[in-house]
Chains A and B, each alone.
Chain A
Amino acid sequence: AQSVAQPEDQVNVAEGNPLTVKCTYSVSGNPYLFWYVQYPNRGLQFLLKYITGDNLVKGSYGFEAEFNKSQTSFHLKKPSALVSDSALYFCAVRGSGNTGKLIFGQGTTLQVKP
């Protein structure tokens, strides 16, 4: 079955420090992987995706994510966190097969403190 796990409900980091938000997935076939961000009372904004190719993908606002096929992981990273990065982050997976279903994880709240 297709699924996504974000093991941390909340991640706390000091401004200027590197951050990592974890994601693992399960899907048949080759995965399409995504990260989205949600600010309070807003919709979801696309950050970055992995389709194929280089395992390290770069996205908006200085975020990047590393695809690891053997560990079925797609962790979100940023070298230097900003207070404005504080938000709710969602990982999502889509199978490359015909169903096209897009499944999200439970979300991780990122709190960046000054």
Chain B
Amino acid sequence: DAGITQSPRYKITETGRQVTLMCHQTWSHSYMFWYRQDLGHGLRLIYYSAAADITDKGEVPDGYVVSRSKTENFPLTLESATRSQTSVYFCASSVAPGQGNTEAFFGQGTRLTVV
């Protein structure tokens, strides 16, 4: 199916475990983003990527790792999960600025609980 999909939709993990959230888009958008949504903080940018093999930190990158070996995939890894990383995570994709419709399209989100 065309679009942007995140998996899993729900995840419960224990403190200290490594967990990876997946994001896949079918539009061949060059840009991809990861956000976390917490009450009172809105959407905060964790990492973003301008193209395959190009990633950069956002507002809250600590404790997270990303990779982008293929244009369509942008996994987010929590190397050692902490309770403060309990959140709803959103992935998004878009074309580059100036290349037409620059709005980002969002996945349905992954609700992660760290116990």
Contact = CB atoms under 8 A, between A and B. Distances in A.
Interface string B91-113: 01010111000111111110000
B31 interface: yes
Contacts of A103: 45, 59
A90 interface: yes
Given A101-B48, A103-B59, A42 B102 contact: no
B97 A106 contact: no
B108 A43 contact: yes
Interface stretch (B13-21, B34-42, B64-72): B34-42
Interface stretch (A66-74, A76-84, A91-99): A91-99
Given A95-B97, A100-B97, A101-B48, A106 B42 contact: yes
Contact of A101 (B40, B41, B45, B98): B45
Interface residues of A, number: 27
Nearest to B45: A103
Contacts, number: 66
A96 B97 contact: yes
A90 to B, nearest CB: 6
B41 A106 contact: yes
A22 interface: no
A57 B40 CA distance: 28
Contacts of A92: 104
A100 B42 contact: no
A11 interface: no
A36 B58 CA distance: 20
A43 B104 CA distance: 12
Contact of B90 (A43, A94, A105): A43
A34 interface: yes
A67 to B, nearest CB: 15
Contacts of B106: 36, 43-45
16 contacts: A34-B103, A34-B104, A46-B103, A49-B102, A90-B43, A94-B97, A97-B97, A101-B58, A102-B31, A102-B48, A104-B42, A104-B44, A105-B42, A106-B41, A106-B42, A107-B42
